[in-house]
């Protein structure tokens, strides 16, 4: 199952130890790690993403979920992301893109206090014991949530509602006097533009999800091939 994982530690050194353990579990085949980062909350409450050039095998492809989670945990005022991360750009702070509920963000935020550091990752795991055992041994507090595509339903409902409003406006315009027709046409044009924007956004999101799914399949295939080669 694909999940978002956040493990909160009391120090940066412990967080890096947690990241190392996470990658070891990936190497052992216990889990698959698609993207990861170390997020540090400073004493003044601001947050910084700390890592090198590597944010996981498909780190740049999971911005619709992973990057959004990073941005929201960093706070809506913004997060200082290193150039190598490149995952909080382009609407990353949109809650609809995260794939987890706001309650999850709230639960993590209550523990990710100033001077604490978290390992944030998008992973696939069949059972929780391997991650929990390793992280708890290091002193980490583990949060996880299965990824959801409920946002697609929300967008569909928004478009359907706007189309209903558009139909109503056009019906009113057909019966309106000349002076009122112009005002209604302005509203129709504005709503039309919003619907087009929503449809384009949904198209881009579907394409991003498809690219992410293809990248994940590639990661899993490469891992399987590597294990097969190691065993032979």
Q: How does DSSP assign 85-130, residue by residue?
A: T--S-SSTT-GGGTSS-HHHHHHHHHHS-TT-EEEEEEEEES-SHH
Domain ranges of the chain: 2-148, 151-231
Percent helix / strand / coil, the chain, rounded to 5: 60, 15, 25
Q: What is the pLDDT of residues 70-97, one digit of tens each?
A: 777 876 434 444 333 444 433 334 555 6
- Choose between 13 and 79: higher pLDDT: 13
Total count of residues recorded for the chain: 232
Average pLDDT value over all residues in the chain: 78
**What per-residue confidence (pLDDT) applies to 22?**
94
43 has a pLDDT exceeding 80: yes
* pLDDT value, residue 57: 53
For residue 97, the model assigns a pLDDT of 61
**pTM for this structure?**
0.65
Banded model confidence at residue 151, pLDDT cuts 50, 70, 90 = low
| pLDDT reported for residue 118 | 94
Higher pLDDT, 118 or 74: 118
What one-character DSSP code corresponds to residue 34?
E
Judged against a pLDDT cut of 60, whether residue 4 lies above it is answered with yes
Q: What is the pLDDT of residue 155?
A: 66
Determine the pLDDT at residue 61: 46
Q: Check residue 231 and give its pLDDT.
A: 77
Query: What's the distance, Cα to Cα, between the start and end of the chain in Å?
Result: 28
């Amino acid at each position: 199952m694909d999940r978002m994982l956040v493990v909160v530690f009391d120090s940066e050194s412990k967080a890096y130890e947690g990241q190392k353990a996470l990658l070891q579990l990936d190497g052992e085949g216990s889990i698959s790690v698609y993207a990861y980062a170390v997020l540090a909350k400073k004493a003044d409450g601001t947050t910084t993403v700390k890592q090198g050039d590597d944010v996981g095998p498909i780190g740049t492809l999971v911005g619709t979920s992973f990057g959004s989670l990073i941005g929201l945990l960093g706070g809506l005022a913004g997060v200082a992301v290193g150039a190598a991360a490149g995952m909080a750009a382009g609407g990353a702070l949109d809650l609809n893109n995260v794939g987890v509920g706001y309650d999850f963000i709230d639960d993590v935020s209550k523990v990710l206090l100033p001077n604490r550091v978290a390992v944030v990752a998008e992973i696939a795991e069949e059972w929780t014991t391997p991650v929990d055992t390793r992280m708890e041994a290091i002193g980490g507090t583990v949060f996880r949530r299965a990824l959801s595509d409920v946002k697609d339903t929300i967008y569909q409902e928004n478009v359907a509602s706007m189309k209903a409003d558009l139909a109503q406006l056009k019906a009113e315009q057909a019966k309106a006097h000349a002076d009122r027709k112009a005002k209604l046409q302005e509203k129709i044009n504005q709503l039309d533009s919003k619907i087009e924007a929503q449809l384009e956004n949904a198209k881009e999101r579907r394409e991003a999800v498809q690219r992410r799914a293809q990248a994940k399949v590639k990661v899993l295939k490469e891992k399987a091939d590597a294990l097969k080669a190691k065993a032979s």
